Structure 1
């Protein structure tokens, strides 16, 4: 695992100059001082872990608001925006229904009383009908979903932040264990 973390770390550090070169282009030239100050494209341990955590949280926001919300929060809290935006892709048409079911379940555990899960929509005659049925299904889930989504997003964010910190620091942790093991043998 440590070699994978080492390889990932070096790949990300090699990616940083390429991203920063794009800041010199005409589209982002005006925003460059602000982006540099806010470490939005910094590929070090803390901004990267924070960007992944923000992306995990914002990935549960409905539809087209995921990426703008991730970018704004990464700029505000100095997280890596590229990592954050990439991580939001964990929610997609294949995963959104199971994630919303889990969020509904979490909301049920937190809220008092008994809530009934509405039945899933059928495919119908086409994709447009199914999407309309899915939107109605999400609305019918109500308060349990509304409460469960931010709780689940916060949980995902904490786990992702800890995982990224651990992955980044795993080579150093492994070296410390090896040094400690050698010191015990020499006693």
Structure 2
């Protein structure tokens, strides 16, 4: 069942409640519904976490936490899913976003060499920025929808499977 698998990998809620960056949410973190694992809260958490993972902003975890609180999604899972874009995967994922953006715009890919400087960032916003931002938005939306409906389908499949097991046990007795 997805609930058992998710529960095994989910971070402890005390750790999240005590995170210094999430203290801005105050008493909102004490809402018990943010910590429950059910089909709706987990599906919303996947949508929120996957959406925020593709948004190229600092403090993605805080953004995911804020949205999770608003839509009553599972908070720890929303925050954990943001880490799909981590320092190792971020270059490949964001390059893919740029490629998707250029494909949608019908533009050609521009060659660029990354530099960790403010000057490079300002210059690249006008050259590769539109395609990158569009690609991030499209993939964030696409993967959040896939995550939401995928979790609903997986959860339903596992529940039906468990009911069939119960039925066969009941019949064999």
SS in 1 for 2:49: helix
For the residues of structure 2 that align with 1:21 and 1:118, how far apart are their CA atoms?
43
Alignment-derived partner of residue 125 in structure 1? none
Pick the aligned partner of 2:75 from 75, 81, 101: 81
Structure 2: stretches of 5+ with no match in the other structure? 169-173
Which of 91, 110, 119 is the aligned partner of 1:118? 110
1:56–1:156 contact (8 Å) kept in structure 2: yes
RMSD: 3.5
The total of aligned residue pairs comes to 162
Residue 155 (1) aligns with residue 142 (2):
yes
Q: Contact conserved, 1:60 with 1:153, CA < 8 A, in 2?
A: yes
2:77 and 2:120 mapped to 1: Cα distance? 29
1:91-170 correspondence runs (5 A): 91-111=85-105, 114-121=106-113, 130-132=115-117, 135=121, 139=125, 140-170=127-157
Query: Is contact 2:42-2:74 (8 Å) kept?
Result: yes
TM-score (norm 1): 0.67
**1: CA distance between counterparts of 2:159 and 2:56?**
38
Please report how far the alpha carbon of residue 89 of structure 1 lies from its aligned counterpart in structure 2 after TM superposition: 0.6
- Higher gyration radius (CA): 1
Shift of residue 62, structure 1, vs aligned partner? 2.3
Answer yes or no: is the 8 Å Cα contact 1:52–1:161 preserved in 2: yes
Alpha-carbon offset, residue 121 of structure 1: 1.8
Task: Name the stretch that deviates more: 160-169 or 48-57.
Answer: 160-169
- Flag structure 1 segments of 5+ consecutive residues without an equivalent: 123-129, 183-187
For normalisation by structure 2, the TM-score amounts to 0.72
